[in-house]
Amino acid sequence: MTPEQTRRTTLLASLALLALAACWGSTFFMIKDLLDRVPTLDFLALRFTVASLALLLVAPRAIARLSPVVRRHAAVLGLLYGVAQILQTAGLAHTPASISGFVTGLYVVCTPLLAAAILRTRIPRVTWAAVALATVGLAVLALDGLSVGYGEAITLASAVLYALHIVGLGAWSSARDAIGMTILQIMVIAVVCTIATAPDGIVLPDRTSDWVSVLYMAVVVGALGLLGQTWAQAHLPPTRSAIIMSMEPVFASLSAVWLGGEDVTARLLVGGTMVLVAMLTVELAPRRAVEGEVPHIAV
């Protein structure tokens, strides 16, 4: 690629992750309403099963084209993400939603730490500054006091697993294998969530509107979202990806104001601005100053 093509691809990858964060943030109201009628793990199992079937219909041979090594990587990433979903859900039962959102968002801090430890990458000062600013912004958005108990502990464990998923995806994904890796990851997530909920039986939605919500979150947010993340992280280092995705709670708050009629608060303005500035810092600073990372490793 020429330098101009590389810059264009990097910009598209950043925009793809930003769009993904917006989609995640927009689903909070739908999920909250749906979970009044469908248990959380049942919803997750159904969502990722539908997502995997949708992608298999579109690209039935994509997994077969993957090498054994790539399949193994995709299975590990799917397992990490599936267990993280279950831990986050279990933690939410013991933790207020705002605190759960903040603790989950600590993957922004965990990602550069794990990238440095696992990939032996050097994280430049400007990136650490952006990570710190994003973390403080998340705290301003979400926290109104914090006590560390069982719920917070297992939610933090989910944040570490999400960070591992981001690091692994940045190291192992390639644009060529994006579709196959996405399908296999989602299939593994579906299996993990189904195993977790199967002993109690699986409750299916009984309203047409609920099925519409499930299909949107499975196909648009789940399948296409993870496909976009897998492709984008083939072109971006893990820490940069994590900072961009930290915009999710900002979009969630904006959705609450726009769709839920909530008031615009000083916390929303201050916290959201801090996260936005953190994202713009890694996007607008010179690339070499931000990314002292080697985004891919051979295994």
- pLDDT above 50 (res 294): no
If you average pLDDT over every residue of the chain, what do you get? 83
Cα angle 228-35-159, degrees, rounded to a multiple of 5: 50
* Higher pLDDT, residue 32 or 135: 135
* Higher pLDDT, residue 130 or 232: 232
Residue 147: its pLDDT value, please?
61
pLDDT in tens, 250-282: 777 777 677 666 666 777 778 878 887 887 776
pLDDT in tens, 91-116: 877 776 667 777 788 888 888 888 88
Q: What is the mean pLDDT of residues 19-28?
A: 82
Residue 254: its pLDDT value, please?
74
CA-nearest of 43, 27, 146, 145 to 89 is 43
* Higher pLDDT, residue 187 or 240: 187
Percent residues over pLDDT 70 in the chain: 87
Q: What is the mean pLDDT of residues 70-77?
A: 96
0.75 cut: is pTM over it? yes
- pLDDT above 80 (res 78): yes
pLDDT in tens, 157-213: 998 999 999 999 989 989 899 999 999 999 999 999 999 898 888 899 999 999 999
- pLDDT above 60 (res 290): no
- Longest Cα–Cα distance of the chain, Å, equals 55
Residue 237: its pLDDT value, please?
85
